[in-house]
């Protein structure tokens, strides 16, 4: 327990949040035996040295990656999700890949919904935002057309194909990135329209962000002052190379009441580094996603 929390009687909401955190950390152990995970196509990080004119772009949705194999909905590591029948009704008999998404800045809520082992109506707050058809032939545009054709004939309340916008030039790309950022979006994904589906990190699919992100391990909870007195002020974290620094922003009130536990790996965003190697303007984003959905 953090020193911030010592001596305080936990509220009912705090206890509930702690229970959710424990469930999220243990879900990989408690869930059903995974089916073989699909070999997924993963993005690399965009560099402005790459000319993406003529590519397709879409918003990078801040959700949980999902893989529908034609019968079951799986995590990227092959864990079987348990959505209610209504959520998967009218999904196609062929594999589609996408993001389980509850809206911008809702990753924690989405994770708490999908990690439960029994079907429940919380799923009906989410959408399955589809961005690829892995086993379809041809390039990206042709593959995605197969999903679009399916849902045109079989509309779904809980699934949609993510719209793709042609990239005219670097200026338009940056303008769209700024627009998404003002809406609290995570960034963009750009893809070559003729790219075939290949497993692993591909230079033909790139994630574009206004910031960099990285991971660090929580070393200590540092107490807050003024409005944060009696709860978390900042996290002391360490990078893989041992560099330590504080993360004091990006937390919700609930996260300050029940912060990521010591030893947890957190994802944070930053804007370059000082000569010392310390990230500039670090801001908390979330507990590392793979801690929620990794195989035991």
Q: Which helix (H) or strand (E) holds 42?
A: strand 41-45
Q: Answer whether 151's CB lies under 8 Å from 161's CB.
A: yes
Q: Pairing state of beta strands 41-45 and 200-208? A: parallel
Of residues 19, 60, 117, 146, which has the active-site annotation?
Answer: 60
CA atoms 5, 7, 13, 15: torsion sign: positive
Q: Answer whether 99's CB lies under 8 Å from 63's CB.
A: yes
Residue 191 to residue 178: CA distance in whole angstroms: 19
Q: Which helix (H) or strand (E) holds 207?
A: strand 200-208
Contacts of 289 (CB under 8 A, 6+ apart): 64, 107, 111, 267
Residue 277 to residue 43: CA distance in whole angstroms: 26
User: For residue 22, which phi and psi values (nearest 5 degrees)?
Assistant: -65, -40
Q: How is 103-160 classified by DSSP, letter by letter?
A: STT-HHHHHHHHT-SS--GGGGG-EEEEEE-TTSSSSHHHHHHHHHHHHHHS--SSEE
Three-state SS at 245:
strand
Whether 60 is a known active-site residue: answer: yes
Instruction: Catalogue the active-site residues.
Output: 60
């Amino acid at each position: 327990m953090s020193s911030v929390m010592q001596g305080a009687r936990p509220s009912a909401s705090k206890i509930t949040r702690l229970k959710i955190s424990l469930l999220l950390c243990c879900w990989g152990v408690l869930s059903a035996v995974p089916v073989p995970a699909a070999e997924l196509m993963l993005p690399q990080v965009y560099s402005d040295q790459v000319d993406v004119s003529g590519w397709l772009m879409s918003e990078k949705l801040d959700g949980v990656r999902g893989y529908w194999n034609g019968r079951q909905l799986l995590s990227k590591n092959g864990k079987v999700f348990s959505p209610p029948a209504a959520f998967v009704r009218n999904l196609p008999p062929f594999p589609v890949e996408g993001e389980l998404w509850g809206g911008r800045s809702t990753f924690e809520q989405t994770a708490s919904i999908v990690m439960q082992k029994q079907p429940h109506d919380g799923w009906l707050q989410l959408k399955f935002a589809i961005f690829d058809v892995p086993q379809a032939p041809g390039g990206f545009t042709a593959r995605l057309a197969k999903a679009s054709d399916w849902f045109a004939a079989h509309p779904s309340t809980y699934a949609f194909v993510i719209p793709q916008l042609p990239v005219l030039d670097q200026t338009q790309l940056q303008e769209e990135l700024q627009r998404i950022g003002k809406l609290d979006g995570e960034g963009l994904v750009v893809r070559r329209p003729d790219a075939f589906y290949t497993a692993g990190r591909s230079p033909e699919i790139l994630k574009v962000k206004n910031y960099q992100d990285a991971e660090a391990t929580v070393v200590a909870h540092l107490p807050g002052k003024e409005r944060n007195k009696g709860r978390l002020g900042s996290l002391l974290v360490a990078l893989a190379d041992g560099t330590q620094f504080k993360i004091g922003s990006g937390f919700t009130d609930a996260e300050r009441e029940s912060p990521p536990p010591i030893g947890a790996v957190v994802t944070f965003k930053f804007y370059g580094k000082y000569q010392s190697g310390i990230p500039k303007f670090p801001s908390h984003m979330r507990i590392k996603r793979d801690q929620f959905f990794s195989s035991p």
